[in-house]
Amino acid sequence: MIVRPYRDGDDENIYRLARLAFGGPREPNPETLWSNQRGWHGVVAEDANKLVGALKVRDYRQFFGGRAVPMGGVASVAVDPHARGHGVATALIDAALPAMRERGQVISALYPSVPPLYRARGWEQTGDYQRAKLRPELFALLPKPATRLVLQRATKDDLPAIHATYLQFASTVDGMLDRSTDSFTLTGLLEVDVVEFAAGPDGSVRGYLTADRPEGERLVTYDLVALDAETALGLLANLGRWTGIMTEISLRIVDPAWWQLLMPLPVLHDVVNHPWMLRVVDLPAAIAARGWPAAAYLSSFTVDLEVVDGHAPWHAGRHRLVVDGGKVTCEPGGSGAVRMSARALGPWFAGSADTAMLRRAGLLEALPVDAHLLDLLTGAPHPARMADSF
Ligand SMILES: CC(C)(COP(=O)(O)OP(=O)(O)OC[C@H]1O[C@@H](n2cnc3c(N)ncnc32)[C@H](O)[C@@H]1OP(=O)(O)O)[C@@H](O)C(=O)NCCC(=O)NCCS
């Protein structure tokens, strides 16, 4: 078997694999062919000149500590049914890792259907992508905003302001994508049925909602972004106005603020979670790319790390984390006092797991003082959230 980069002409064979793995029509929708998409790189596996596996990495950036960190989003991993169980997917992942590093994708996220496959290569469960199914009547229990929110239907001209509002919100939630790479186009937002927004007095966008209205009695929401509580209450109240026709609002949980602090949630409700995994591809570069808001309030200190990572040898070994003058850097050397496995790096970097959790899971060994400093830096533990699946 050989693993090589994607090349023109692979589309048809990749579609065959993808259809067998994930379903879809026999004849592909041209938009789904890799060559018709932007912002990705890919690898394929061949056996006896036949394509038996494929893996795509999307170009994304993911917010951590308020800065958008270049991230490779691993997607569309598929192996021909007859060739499964012989390490093809593992070989594709092994080829994708250095390719991400070369492209400056210092971290990598993915939505696993098979977590053990990715765990074995250093990814670990880190964050949530959640949806709730709610009756529209529930929204009538919300307090009414002081003034009735005036909403407008968005056009192409409104998209930059809507995106600016999204970024203002997303940069405050660890794990959200910045949707500013080639993998996204602003106009993609207008492809759904409902795009409504509230404008502030200065013409800026205070909040917006996007949703689809499929056949049946269900509304499927995507973004619900609001910069203040009044706007959030107004957008949520407008969802309540689907009462009468709809029996279900499928609510994508985007902002923990309105989901946790404004929604009148019943005692029992169903939330479907699609967890995602994170891997640090290049530790020094990832540390340089992330924001470290807590560092500005901490006095100078160092923590010595020993990274155990057999699949990313470029960052395996000893590093010294230096916190000084509000900046955090990662230099080679040190005593290796804190031992971290590759799988510890993603949840630590994201702040989704604290060192006590990582230690109990057998992923980290540290003295209490070092562990405390590592937690202070990331503010762990706190949830990480993504609103885009891939
Ligand atoms: C999942 C898939 C890509 C695995 O391909 P593969 O070439 O058989 O994987 P590998 O041989 O490299 O598997 C390595 C390890 O991953 C784990 N693994 C692989 N498939 C698994 C599955 N379906 N369930 C649980 N663990 C699995 C096992 O630990 C396996 O090691 P083992 O064979 O020694 O037990 C393939 O079954 C497939 O195409 N499935 C349908 C599409 C899909 O689910 N893609 C993943 C999207 S995230």
pLDDT, one tens digit per residue, over 50-65 is: 999 999 999 999 999 9
Do 337 and 219 fall into the same domain?
no
Question: How much is the pLDDT for 266?
Answer: 81
How remote is the C-alpha of 149 from its chain's centroid? 31
Please report the atom of ligand 1 found closest to the CA of residue 110.
48
pTM for this model (two decimals)? 0.97
206 and 85 within one domain: no
pLDDT at 265 over 90: no
Identify the band that residue 331 occupies on the pLDDT scale cut at 50, 70 and 90.
very high
For residue 85, the CA-to-ligand 1 centroid distance in Å is 7
- Residue 69 makes CB contacts below 8 A (sequence gap 6+) with 61, 62, 63, 106, 107, 286, 289, 290
Q: What is the structure's pLDDT at 74?
A: 98
Arithmetic mean of pLDDT over the chain? 96
Q: Are both 268 and 287 inside the same structural domain?
A: no
Q: Does 149 score more than 90 pLDDT?
A: yes
Ligand 1 centroid, distance to 310 Cα (angstroms): 20
- Are 151 and 77 members of one domain? no
Q: Has residue 70 been placed in a domain?
A: yes
Distances (CA, A) of 84 to 10, 48, 79, 80, 91: 20, 15, 6, 7, 12
Token pair 């409700």: residue = 269
CA of 89 from ligand 1 middle (Å) equals 7
- Distance of CA 365 from the midpoint of ligand 1 (Å): 30
Residues with CB under 6 A from ligand 1: 21, 77-79, 84-90, 112-114, 116-117
Please tell me the distance between residue 79's alpha carbon and the centre of ligand 1 in angstroms: 8
Question: The domain that contains 234 carries what CATH number?
Answer: 3.40.630.30
- By three-state DSSP, how is residue 116 classified? helix
Report yes or no: 133 and 312 within 8 Å, Cβ to Cβ.
no
Domain count of the chain? 3
Local confidence band at 160 (pLDDT 50, 70, 90 cut-offs): very high
pLDDT for position 296: 96
Closest residue by Cα to atom 36, ligand 1, is 79
Which ligand 1 atom sits nearest the alpha carbon of residue 90? 12
Q: In terms of residue numbers, what domain contains 185?
A: 130-273
Does any domain span residue 389?
no
